[in-house]
Amino acid sequence: MSPMPQPPVPPGVTPGPVPTPVPAPVPVPTTGPAPTPTPVPVPTSGPPPTPAPVAPGTRLAARSLVKRFGATVALAGVDLDIAAGESVAVMGPSGSGKSTLLHCLAGILVPDSGAVLLEGQGVHAMNERDRSMLRRQRFGFVFQFGQLLSELPAVENVALAPMLNGASRKEAMALAAQWLGSLGLAGMETRRPGELSGGQAQRVAVARALITGPQVVFADEPTGALDQATGHDVMRVLTSTCRLAGATLVVVTHDAQVAAWCDRRVEVRDGRVVADVRRSA
């Protein structure tokens, strides 16, 4: 096993006003009327089309991803290349397929057709056991309600991830305490999630997601249950920590200001990507 990653230099946890992120450009791909999205054939009769090659430097790629739930087509052919270290906000109306896309990219759901490639490795083709190992060892997750274990103190919630990957309890607890400290939670190690504010609990969730040194962190509405200022604080910590740790970040959000913390914004409508805008440097 590779050595466990140390927490990065405190990722911007200095108190004070939340810095205003550079606003992302409005995701209008062209001037004039909204473009009609190119129809992507959902059925898979006949030979599959040759997928577009994955660009060098791509960490995570989706090719012609289709996912149905009964008659509902949640993903209708998604292609996406996400570079190593890049942060991407996935936006779109409720029901447009954001969470389904995130779950397929993360190997939680298996697409009906198409491919998910992590460093060129086919996640979509792995069996449940390998996908589960992949999620534990190479991915990190932050959800809307943190999903911390309510009966465990903060430090144990964070230590659990390296322990599941084989670290000793002592080593995992020490590293977890370091992570909590680097995320501004020193002194709160023994508090249970119910004894933390929503923002503090999300910082614990960020520490838990990053402690294993994941290649990709997935976050589904990580600020959805927080007020705006606290949400920005969590995004600041999440984006800066991922950047320092070299982790790619995929964040689903409804909030354009939350998306503005990311390098790139992808808009999903009816299971298709309809806009993809990089923040100008």
- Using the minimum distance from each CB to ligand ATP, give the nearer residue, 98 or 265: 98
Residue carrying structure tokens 């466990």: 4
Quick check: 96 binds ligand ATP (CB under 6 A)?
Answer: yes
Tokens in use for 12? 């911007």
What is the closest distance, in whole angstroms, from the C-beta atom of residue 274 to ligand ATP in the complex? Answer: 13
From 97, 107, 146, 184, residue interacting with ligand ATP (rule: CB under 6 A): 97
Quick check: 7 binds ligand ATP (CB under 6 A)?
Answer: no
First to last CA, the chain: 37
Tokens in use for 17? 């006003």
Site for ligand ATP in 248-267 (CB under 6 A): none
Quick check: 92 binds ligand ATP (CB under 6 A)?
Answer: yes
- Using the minimum distance from each CB to Mg ion, give the nearer residue, 99 or 240: 99
Give CA–CA dist 234/217, Å, rounded: 14
What is the closest distance, in whole angstroms, from the C-beta atom of residue 34 to ligand ATP in the complex? Answer: 19
From 23, 25, 53, 95, residue interacting with ligand ATP (rule: CB under 6 A): 95
Quick check: 144 binds ligand ATP (CB under 6 A)?
Answer: no
Radius of gyration over every alpha carbon of the chain, rounded to an integer in angstroms: 19
Which strands make up the sheet holding 248-252, listed edge to edge? 139-142, 216-220, 248-252, 87-91, 264-269, 272-278
Quick check: 71 binds ligand ATP (CB under 6 A)?
Answer: no
Element (H, E) at 141: strand 139-142
Quick check: 144 binds Mg ion (CB under 5 A)?
Answer: no
Instruction: With beta carbons less than 8 A apart as the criterion, state whether 216 and 123 touch.
Output: no
Alpha helices in the chain (DSSP H): 98-105, 128-138, 154-164, 169-182, 198-210, 228-245, 256-259
From 22, 53, 69, 149, residue interacting with ligand ATP (rule: CB under 6 A): 69
- Using the minimum distance from each CB to Mg ion, give the nearer residue, 181 or 224: 224
What is the closest distance, in whole angstroms, from the C-beta atom of residue 220 to ligand ATP in the complex? Answer: 7
User: Which residue ranges make up the site for Mg ion (CB under 5 A)?
Assistant: 99
User: Which residue ranges make up the site for ligand ATP (CB under 6 A)?
Assistant: 69, 72, 74, 92, 94-100
